[in-house]
Structure 1
Amino acid sequence: MSLDVLTLTLSIVPYIVVMSITPGPNNLMLLSSGVRFGAQRSLPHMLGISVGGAVMIVLTGLGLLELFQRHPLLQQGVQWGGMAYLLWLAWQMTRAPAPQEALEQEALVPGGAAQQPPGHAQGASSAEALARPLGFLGAAAFQWVNPKMWMMALGLLSAYLPPGQGVAAVALVALVFGVTNLPCISVWAIAGQHLRHWLQQPARLQAFNWSMAAALLLSMAPVLLRQ
């Protein structure tokens, strides 16, 4: 079956935009990162999401989708593991320092920006993880435990990709995802940056951190409802 590039692209872009720009674990983490570190220093985090998601789509399209269809329990295991990790992230968000405090703490932590998800770097304490922006590799790795990214990848490949397509079609979907996703998620980091000054007051910061933690927990609802 021949691949209609234009038709496929036009059909998946609206889906990617909606899934990318609506609240979810990635965007809530970027909003929080924008508050603490600014949009520019959150750029590796954003690139990790877009590139990591694209790689995930390619690998899923080349075999993981069929594997999950044959073994549903495997997919459920990945989803539950991801949700457990999101619970840990929500708890960490409630303890996030003020923007100025984060910069001061990072200056005391050797090694520069983190390259692993919070709590995954060997020997890294929770305080150190909170004091540094998430790096490219950490953000890319996080997509494999992100329930919303799994929903997006599986939805793209099962609902939009015509049957009988090969590597080229899967690569096209991944490319369109990466190009479309990046500007959508950057909105959240930029929004966070604009909130930095307003959140210097402890009461406002505490309310923001707990709101982000609650929103992160609510972002798991669609996955739970699909169980």
Structure 2
Amino acid sequence: MVPLNDWLLFAGAALLMALTPGPNMIYLISRSICQGRRAGVISLFGVVAGFLVHMFTAAAGLTALFMAVPMAYEILKWAGAAYLLYLAWQAVKPGARSPFEARELPQDSPRKLFAMGFLTNLLNPKIAVFYLAIFPQFISPGHGSVFAQSVVLGLTQIVFSFSVNLSIALSAARLARWFQHNRRWLAVQQYVMGGVLAALAVRLAVEQKRI
């Protein structure tokens, strides 16, 4: 199974990814502000369904990939580090938009809310690249079943993302008003997030292959 130190590092990476603004967060905030907390929570369950698809696809794919292509780990390691640096830049670049500057959305039925949450996550490039490039850094064939390790890490990522996004969906309107009147704190959050993501990118880049 996944060693505790690796799991803790992955949990930190999963938490950072959940806190980093992306399509899922923007959609959930916008939906919660425009249609209320219930709509945001229903949308979130659709997002979780999308996570399950990403997780099981990655688990099956990595099992085959690590067996067929010995260089796959090194390729994915550098891709993951580059993606984290990209996210760091997105957090601090001039003109970066806050997810709490929500766009207007029409009123939708519960079924459509779930479906839109599912599709938003399924087509989310941030999550796809996370599972393709960062996720594999914490999996080693030497620690047992690649599939089992993938499921453990995937469920960890889903729990962190669900917890963060549920909190945001339930308090989106209040947070949006607070940030509107305290924009300096929004800038502080952006630079802290960018710095941590950049540090994690360097950590992954210098990590030696685990066997």
Is 1:199 aligned to residue 199 of structure 2?
A: no
Partner of 1:91: 89
Q: For 1:217 and 1:44, how far apart are their aligned partners in 2?
A: 30
Q: For 2:52 and 2:5, how far apart are their aligned partners in 1?
A: 15
Taking structure 1 as reference, are residues 60 and 98 closer, same or farther at Cα in structure 2, changes over 3 Å only? Answer: closer
- Structure 2 length as normaliser, TM-score? 0.62
The aligned length equals: 178
Q: CA deviation at 1:146?
A: 3.1
- Structure 1 length as normaliser, TM-score? 0.58
Q: For 2:201 and 2:148, how far apart are their aligned partners in 1?
A: 28
Q: For 2:100 and 2:165, how far apart are their aligned partners in 1?
A: 17
Q: 1:53 aligns with which of 52, 55, 71?
A: 55
Instruction: Tell me the percent identity.
Output: 18
Contact in 1 for aligned 2:44/2:117 (Cα 8 Å):
no
Extract unaligned runs of 5+ from structure 1.
1-10, 117-133, 162-169
Please list, as runs of the form range in 1=range in 2, the aligned pairs for 1:79-158 lying within 5 A after superposition: 79-94=77-92, 95-101=95-101, 103-104=102-103, 135-138=121-124, 139-147=126-134, 149-152=135-138, 154-155=139-140, 157-158=141-142
Q: For 2:54 and 2:186, how far apart are their aligned partners in 1?
A: 30
Taking structure 1 as reference, are residues 210 and 151 closer, same or farther at Cα in structure 2, changes over 3 Å only? Answer: same
Tell me the SS of whatever aligns to 1:188: helix
Is 1:212 aligned to residue 193 of structure 2?
A: yes
Q: CA deviation at 1:76?
A: 1.9
Partner of 1:189: 165
Q: CA deviation at 1:174?
A: 4.9
Extract unaligned runs of 5+ from structure 2.
30-39, 106-112
Give the root-mean-square deviation of aligned CA atoms: 3.8
Contact in 2 for aligned 1:86/1:216 (Cα 8 Å):
yes
Q: CA deviation at 1:206?
A: 0.7
